[in-house]
Amino acid sequence: MKKRFKILFTVFIMLMFSSCGDNETHVINTVHEDGSVNRKVTVKTTDKKDFIQKNSRVPVDSTWRIEITYDINENKDTVWLLTADKHFDSVEEINEEYDKDKGSNRALKRSADFTKSFKWFTTVFRYTETIEKVLTIDCPMSDFLTGEELKFAYLPGKIRGDLKNGPDSVRIKEMEERIDRKSEEWLWTCEFRQWVEVFYDLFGDNPDLGITRDEMRSRESEFAQLMTGDDNNNDEGANLDSLFATVVGEDFVKTFKTEIDSAGSVVDTIDSPFWGASKYDMEIRMPGRIIASNGYAEIDPDSDNGGGILWTVKGDYFLTETYEMWAESKVNNYFIWIITGLFILFVSSGLIFYHRKAKSS
Amino acid sequence: MNDDNKYSRVIESLKRNRPILQDRERLTDDIMREIKKSSAVATLPEKLVNYFFAWVNNYWLRGTMAVTAVLFAGFFIIQQLVIADRLDKLERQVVRTLYTINDHEPDLGINQRILLNLVLNEQMTEDSITVSTSDMEELLNYVLELQNKYGDLLQDAGKNPYILKRIRQSLEESTNSDEI
């Protein structure tokens, strides 16, 4: 258990740093009416190693048209820019690439979907990118964050950055700190809840346990508070066993050490896609006019990437809930408009003709 | 002989009690119109109209066509309203990211809000200042004008990366020299 939490802490700290790192991966999906998709991936980094396939956050291989350029930023560092694009005839081809992915996010279960529905006067297109949830338990972020905090937590990094530098920056920064604090609490609650489920699924039949599943579950908030407490900040994992023992009881830890570690290993396997996930931005551009989406509109008119709907993909979003990025657009079927208009005119004329005839006779 | 007398009496009686016509002229007109109608030959357009609108003489067909037309019109209106509503929600999603400006100036258009947000962001990274509404409007106009000019300049440059880079360098140099 101790070793496990040491690793988790290290990875968590790494994740926090990596989220502020200089690898900016941006994926633009330009969807066409026939369901084909032009995918463009741009990776901006100061470390050229990020271009190696195993470090790629989205699948990019030799079948893509790749261009690498560089520039010097304001700190006189070399900034490398990789631009890769590929045309996919259908979303199935994208899904095949996801299945064969060898990049840093290969453990994620990602898929794309496209539907086209004829709705007489309009044709509606829907494009979805889905990332399956990692943990098997239910532990929604909404149980920990308020509505406003939740909205802010889901904002793409770019828009969040704009807000942080905006006129209400003090309030925004304070809210971000609050969200970070609550997110950490949520994260440890999820981990503990998952561990409880696995532990009791595997060893729940043992008559010597002494603590029921529900009793153990009720201790999750205590565990999360201990893990996120100020006293724990300078800890190097030395008292993690004692923290765990404080929550579940020392006797329990001593008696079921092997079982606890086994359950911990299973949880490690389950949540490894989360800990290994690397952040990137997703943009979807739809044919026709976008009518609905759960993303955010690009607001920077100077951006080369303008015109699409934005999302950020990061571990928090799909740890306990399936993360779906979708956009719907419509194209007017003007031919149908004309046909229907003529039909209505024909019927109206017929009725007028009938009434005149009836009147005259 | 008796029968003859009987008939004669009936005829005499009918002659004595002739029906009184209320509108003799109308009766004449109706009779004349019916005679004309039966003798007149329909023209080609009339035949076509009669052919196309033959369905109106059938009660069920007339009703079905009318209902279908109304349904089509209704469906069109509802569909457009639903789309407008969804677009409105989508627009609010954009506005939500700029809510701080929205709270202060609810009448501002979305483009102005975006622009204002960008302008304010630039300012806040450097300093915190108070600007009057008229000054801000003037500033917005200048920014819009500059953006248009910049767009034209990029278009003229033919989007050649080398030329663009040189233009940017030149602009930066001129900005730096202005600041000095």
Amino acid identity of residue B146, one-letter, is: L
Inspect the interface and report whether the beta carbons of A293 and B69 lie closer than 8 Å. no
* Phi/psi of residue A44, nearest 5 degrees: -110, 120
- Residue A256: CB atoms within 10 A of its CB come to 20
Q: What is the 8-class DSSP label of residue B130?
A: -
- Say yes or no for a CB contact (<8 Å) between B65 and A350: yes
| CA nearest neighbour of B112 among B149, B151, B143, B153 | B143
**pTM for the model:** 0.70
pLDDT attached to residue B179? 54
Residue B67 has pLDDT above 90, yes or no: yes
- Alpha carbon distance, N-terminus to C-terminus of chain B: 143
Question: What are B73's two structure tokens?
Answer: 């019109």
Closest C-alpha among B87, B80, B92 to residue A327: B87
Q: Considering CB atoms only, which of A290, A293, A343 is closest to B69?
A: A343
A284 pLDDT tier (thresholds 50, 70, 90)? very high
The b-or-e profile of B138-172 (16+ CB within 10 A means b, else e) is eebeeeeeeeeeeeeeeeeeeeeeeeeeebeeeee
Question: DSSP character for A232?
Answer: G
Residue A317 · residue A62 · CB < 8 Å: no
Hey, how many other C-beta atoms are within 10 angstroms of the C-beta on A82?
Answer: 21
Residue A3 is predicted with a pLDDT of 47
User: Torsions phi, psi of A309, nearest 5?
Assistant: -110, 140
Q: Is B157 a residue whose pLDDT tops 70?
A: no
State the pLDDT confidence band at A20, using cuts at 50, 70 and 90.
very low
Segments making up each domain of chain A, as ranges: 2-334
**Token output for A305:** 């990437």
Question: For A78, how many CA atoms within 13 A lie in the half-sphere containing its CB?
Answer: 7
Residue partners of B43: CB distance under 8 A and separation at least 6? none
Q: Which of A81, A93, A117 is nearest to A37 (CA)?
A: A93
Of A114-123, A215-224, A303-312, B133-142, which gets the smallest average pLDDT?
A: A303-312
Would you list the DSSP string of A120-149? TTEEEEEEEEEE--SSSS---GGGTS-HHH
Among A4-8, A118-122, A151-155, name the most confident range: A118-122
ipTM: 0.73
Structure tokens at A239: 């008292």
β-strand pairing of A289-293 with A110-119: unpaired
Element (H, E) at A248: helix A240-248
Contact state of A344 with B72 under an 8 Å Cβ cutoff: yes
The three-point CA angle A91-A38-A324 to 5° equals 50
Distance CA B26, CA B42 (A): 25
Quickly list DSSP for B13-45: HHHHTPPPPS-HHHHHHHHHHHHHHHHPPPPHH
Pair type for strands A280-285 and A24-31: parallel
Q: Do B94 and A300 touch (CB under 8 A)?
A: no
Name chain A contacts of B125, Cβ cutoff 8 Å.
165
Partner B contacted by A292 (CB < 8 A): yes
Give Cα separations from B24 to A181, A220, B30, B34 (angstroms): 102, 104, 10, 16
Give B124's contacts in chain A (Cβ within 8 Å). Answer: 165-167, 169
Q: Residue length, chain A? A: 361
Whether residue A8 is predicted with pLDDT greater than 90 in this model: the reply is no
Average pLDDT (A266-276) is 89
Chain A residue numbers touching B96 (CB-CB < 8 A) = 151
Per-residue confidence (pLDDT) for residue A126, from 0 to 100: 96
Percent of chain B with pLDDT over 90: 15
Phi/psi-derived region of residue B16, left when phi > 0, alpha when psi is between -120 and 50, beta in every other case: alpha
Chain segment A128-163, per-residue pLDDT in tens = 999 999 999 999 999 999 888 888 888 877 777 777
Of the partner residues A122, A296, A328, the one whose CB lies closest to the CB of residue B79: A122
- Asked if residue B78 has pLDDT above 90, the reply is yes
Give me the pLDDT at residue A131, please.
95
Do the chains contact at A354 and B52, CB–CB below 8 Å? no
Torsion angles phi and psi, residue A200, rounded to 5: -75, -25
Residue A239: per-residue pLDDT: 63
Q: Which of A28-32, A76-80, B33-37 has the lowest mean pLDDT?
A: B33-37
Q: Higher model confidence: residue A106 or residue B162?
A: A106
Residue B97 predicted with pLDDT over 60? no
The pLDDT score that the predictor gives to residue A298 is 60
Q: Supply the mean pLDDT for chain A.
A: 84
Choose, out of B38, B47, B83, the residue to mutate when testing the contact with A (most A CBs < 10 Å).
B83
